[in-house]
Chains A and B, each alone.
Chain A
Amino acid sequence: MLTFIIRRLLWSVLVLFVITTLVFIIFFKTPGVDPARALAGRSPNAQTLAEIRAQLGLGRPFPVEYAIMMKKIFITRDLVSYSNQGTRVIQEIFAATPATMSLVFGAAVLWVVMAIAVGIAAALLRGTIFDPLIMVVALIGVSAPVFWVGQIVNMISQGSLHSTVLFSWVPPLGYTPFLQSPGLWFRGLVLPWITLSILYIGFYGRVLRANLLEVQNEDYVRTARAKGISERRVLMRHTLRTSMITFVSLFGLDFAALVAGGALVTEVVFGIHGVGFLFFESFQSLDLPTIMAITIYGAFFIVLINAAVDIAYAWLDPRIRPT
């Protein structure tokens, strides 16, 4: 097990190294582009350009340039955004994290609960008209572009229906920190949570249903039934438990991707100033230092979660551990 953990972590380090190098090359080594000019944002002056070159050691050998950049991102954390009046990028990312976390955590709770309900309902109702019906609705959820759903939700909740009793509780678009006003925090996030989770409810509901039906024919489920265990107990203790394996591993990956900026579109549509929104603003103004830092931090987070999922998996199921 220890060898497995070490090997898995070494692999993560390698992946991170390659990703950071790749991002670095995309931004600094594209032929025909002066990186200082690209980093400086729109319409820089000569003094800024010289300053950037000096600060980032541009023009020195590639490994040195790379090392200076990584040091500025991970160790000294003093990478500044040139197009945004010298704001410190890393601090800005950390300041935006609570909003993203609030959005993604809430949506995750909603999608796990609803997807399990949808999956079980469809599997139990198999053979009736409701099973295909639920699956079609789930497929519609999977097929709807999330930003569009968000726009429609806004259209309904902020538009002419806003004055009716149905949506008068919805605050204006934006994010209120939890500590500032828990009530407003919650009311402002309900619709974004629903919007973000629709896709995942549909997707996970379908996956869970397929797994439940597959497991239902396994010998140990038949044995459990033969022993006279109630249907409910068979479902909870035997079928659902095994079916959740795929569900849980997928969940880890999707959750990580969302925290690392995948919730971007939902944040933009609902004006939630999280990491995704910051990313959006920075590529609107071609603020390359911020884009680069968010990408690298995002990748860092995803690679870490992936490693954690794999290790947890190997711990739960020794068959997965490579010899």
Chain B
Amino acid sequence: MATLLEQVEVDTELRPAIAGRNPWALAARRLWRNRIAMAALLLFLVIVVMCLAAPLYASNIAHVNPFPPNLNGHTVVNGHVVPVMQQGGGLLKLGETPIGPTWDPSHYFLGADNTGRDVAALLLYGGRSSLLIGIGSALLCSLAATVIALIAGFFGGVTDSVASRIMDIVWAFPVFLLAICIGTELLTHSNGFQLGPVHVDASSLLLPTLLIGFIYIPYVYRPVRGQVLSVVKKEFVEAATAQGAGNTRLIFSEVLPNVVSTVIVLLPLIIATTILTESVLSFLGIGVQPPNVSWGSLIADATALVYTRPWTTIAPGLMILLTVLSLNVLGDGVRDALDPRAKLRVEG
């Protein structure tokens, strides 16, 4: 026996110690190596930066204020001054048609909309609202869902039953009908609201953000609660309890760190979903309200121009498609990185 023990000691001394790696670092490395996911992340970041730079583009490159109508404005195409609203355009050579894409970044790059506004500049401003609402509601939703899931899963019993049943009911509600109901109800308050001490304007972006964040809570709650339930039964939680840890410590330092990865895996996919939802609601006229624009409301505004000025429709949709696609691809990558043995893995 003694010799064996000595052997072990000798071994550990001789071998270089294997550096313990933190699981987050491992996951980050796996994600970093996933080129497709990294390309998607890059694309998403480029879109975000472009949209954040909307005021810079509008004031320094396009020299327009894209919000007020510009029916009598003029712009320059190939060195000639032309009106933004052109007479006798379209198939029938009647009426007014806004100028089409000039492909010149400083003069109506993507043309003008029905009221002579610069579509390219609106596209970037619209992206700000879409991304802000999408990311904001996804974060709110994940936060709320995680808190409820932690409480429900940790305390179990009646708390869990009540929380889970409420979630089941919200889940059973058709998402769009619920969103539209609440959205319409909010629209009937044309003077805004008083939420406690805070006054919320009826055209505030906060309303669609809260609304969309709320309807997706059960979609995050279910997987996170499942994870909480399995973590709570683990030995390390029992060990912490035996050491006298209180509930707060158990929740925050034992359970939470072990369910965060589930939330992170879901986050890109939730953002993709909330951005799509926002676009649908705004397209229907109950999401973002004027004077704000978003990609969805731009597509709705372009309905009258679908046949004459297709880019007013194509461009915002393409932005939504690229943003959501990049998030979905990134989501796949994050899931593979954090949970290499996940059941629903798509990459082989």
Among A128-145, those with CB < 8 Å from B are 131-132, 135, 139-140, 142-145
The reply to whether A143 and B328 form a contact with Cβ atoms under 8 Å apart is yes
Contact B279 A127 (CB under 8 A): no
Q: Residues of B contacting A140 with CB < 8 Å?
A: 321, 325
For the complex, would chain B's binding face be called helix, strand, loop or mixed by DSSP majority?
A: helix
Partner-binding segment picked from B173-181, B241-249, B252-260: B173-181
Query: Does any Cβ of B come within 8 Å of A206's Cβ?
Result: yes
Q: Which of B72-80, B121-129, B306-314 contacts A (4 or more CB under 8 A)?
A: B306-314
B321–A144 CB distance below 8 A: yes
Q: Is B5 an interface residue (CB 8 A)?
A: no
Query: Would you give the 0/1 interface string for B296-330, flagging 1 where the beta carbon is closer than 8 Å to chain A?
Result: 10010011001100100110110011001100110
Which residues of chain B have C-beta atoms less than 8 A from A196's C-beta? none
| A251 interface residue per 8 A CB criterion | no
A285 to B238, CA, bound (A): 58
Say whether B265 faces chain A, with CB atoms less than 8 Å apart. Answer: no
| Contact residues of B between 163 and 185, Cβ < 8 Å to A | 168-169, 172-178, 180-185
| Size of A's binding interface in residues, CB under 8 A | 61
Q: Which residues of B contact A132 (CB under 8 A)?
A: 347
* B149 lies within 8 A of chain A by Cβ: no
- Whether B185 contacts A126 by the Cβ 8 Å rule is no
A148–B174 touching, CB < 8 Å: no
Nearest neighbor of A19 in chain B, beta-carbon distance: B173
Q: Is the CB of A158 within 8 A of B346?
A: no
* A26 pairs with B321, CB closer than 8 A: no
Q: Pick from A15, A207, A280, A291: contact of B172, CB below 8 A.
A: A15
Chain B residues, CB < 8 A from A294:
177
Query: Which residues of the other chain, B, contact A97 by a CB distance below 8 angstroms?
Result: none
Taking CB atoms, residues of chain A closer than 8 Å to B317 are: 144-145, 148-149, 151-152
Contact A148 B299 (CB under 8 A): yes
Q: A283 near B320 (CB under 8 angstroms)?
A: no
B180 neighbours in A (Cβ, 8 Å): 279, 283, 291, 295
> What separation, in Å, do the CA atoms of A10 and B276 have in the docked complex?
35
Check A18 for interface membership: any CB of B closer than 8 A.
yes
Q: Are B306 and A151 in contact (CB under 8 A)?
A: yes
B234 within 8 A of A: no
B340 CB, nearest partner CB in chain A, Å: 14
> Is residue A101 contacting chain B, with contact meaning CB distance below 8 A?
no
* Interchain CB contact under 8 A, A264 and B328: no
- Which residues does chain B contribute within 8 Å of A131, judged by CB atoms? 348
Contact, CB under 8 Å: A135 / B346: yes
With CB as the reference atom, state the residue of chain B lying closest to A268: B284
Query: Which B-chain residue is minimally distant from A288 (CB atoms)?
Result: B184
Q: Is the CB of A264 within 8 A of B344?
A: no
Please measure, in the bound complex, the distance between the C-alpha atom of A146 and the C-alpha atom of B302, giving whole angstroms: 16
B169/A143 in contact, CB under 8 A: no
A143 is contacted by which of B168, B173, B183, B325 (Cβ under 8 Å)? Answer: B325
Q: Does B283 contact A147, Cβ atoms closer than 8 Å? A: yes
- Name the residue of chain A whose CB is nearest to the CB of B300: A147
Give Cα distance in the complex from A51 to B324, angstroms. Answer: 49
A19-46 vs B, Cβ < 8 Å mask (1 yes, 0 no): 1001100110010110000100000000
Contacts of A264 in B (CB 8 A): 176, 284
Known: A15-B168, A152-B314. A142 touches B280 (CB 8 A): no
Is the Cβ of A145 less than 8 Å from the Cβ of B279?
A: yes
Is A265 interfacial (CB 8 A cutoff)? yes
Per-residue interface assignment for chain A, residues 255 to 287, with 1 indicating a CB less than 8 Å from any chain B CB and 0 otherwise: 001001110110010000000000110011010
Q: State which size class the interface on B falls in.
A: 35 or more
B177 touches A26 (CB 8 A): no
A142–B175 Cα distance when bound, in Å, is 17
Q: Indicate which residue in A151, A283, A295 contacts B313 across the interface (CB closer than 8 Å).
A: A151
**Once bound together, how far apart are the Cα atoms of A87 and B306, in whole Å?**
33
Q: Tell whether B223 is near chain A: CB-to-CB under 8 Å.
A: no
Contact A261 B299, beta carbon cutoff 8 Å = no
B93 CB-CB contact with A under 8 Å:
no
Closest to B306 in A: A155
Given known pairs A155-B306, A268-B284, the reply for A210 and B346 (CB within 8 Å) is: yes
Are the CB atoms of B176 and A143 closer together than 8 Å?
A: no
Partner of B188, one of A33, A159, A261, A303: A33
Q: From residue B125, how far is it (CB to closest CB) to chain A in Å?
A: 18
Q: In the complex, which residue of chain A has the Cβ closest to the Cβ of B183?
A: A283
Q: Please report the C-alpha to C-alpha distance between residue A159 and residue B91 in the assembled complex, in whole angstroms.
A: 10
| A residues less than 8 Å from B187 (CB atoms) | 286
Complex: how many Å from CA A265 to CA B279? 11
Q: How far is the CA of A147 from the CA of B178 in the complex (A)?
A: 19
Is the CB of B83 closer than 8 A to any CB of chain A?
Answer: no
Asked if B345 is at the interface of the complex by the 8 Å CB criterion, the answer is: yes
Q: Which residues of B contact A (CB under 8 A)?
A: 91, 168-169, 172-178, 180-185, 187-189, 272, 276, 279-280, 283-286, 296, 299, 302-303, 306-307, 310, 313-314, 316-317, 320-321, 324-325, 328-329, 343-348
Instruction: Please give me the 9 A-B residue pairs with the lowest Cβ-Cβ distance, nearest first.
Output: A148-B317, A143-B324, A143-B325, A159-B307, A283-B184, A295-B177, A155-B306, A145-B279, A147-B283
Contacts A33-B189, A147-B279, A260-B177 aside, 20 further interface pairs with beta carbons under 8 A come to: A15-B168, A19-B169, A26-B182, A26-B185, A132-B347, A140-B325, A142-B328, A143-B324, A144-B320, A145-B299, A145-B320, A147-B280, A148-B279, A264-B176, A265-B280, A291-B180, A295-B178, A299-B177, A302-B173, A302-B174
Which A residues fall within an 8 A CB radius of B?
Answer: 15, 18-19, 22-23, 26-27, 30, 32-33, 38, 126-127, 131-132, 135, 139-140, 142-149, 151-152, 154-155, 158-160, 206-207, 209-210, 213-214, 257, 260-262, 264-265, 268, 279-280, 283-284, 286, 288, 291-292, 294-295, 298-299, 302-303, 306
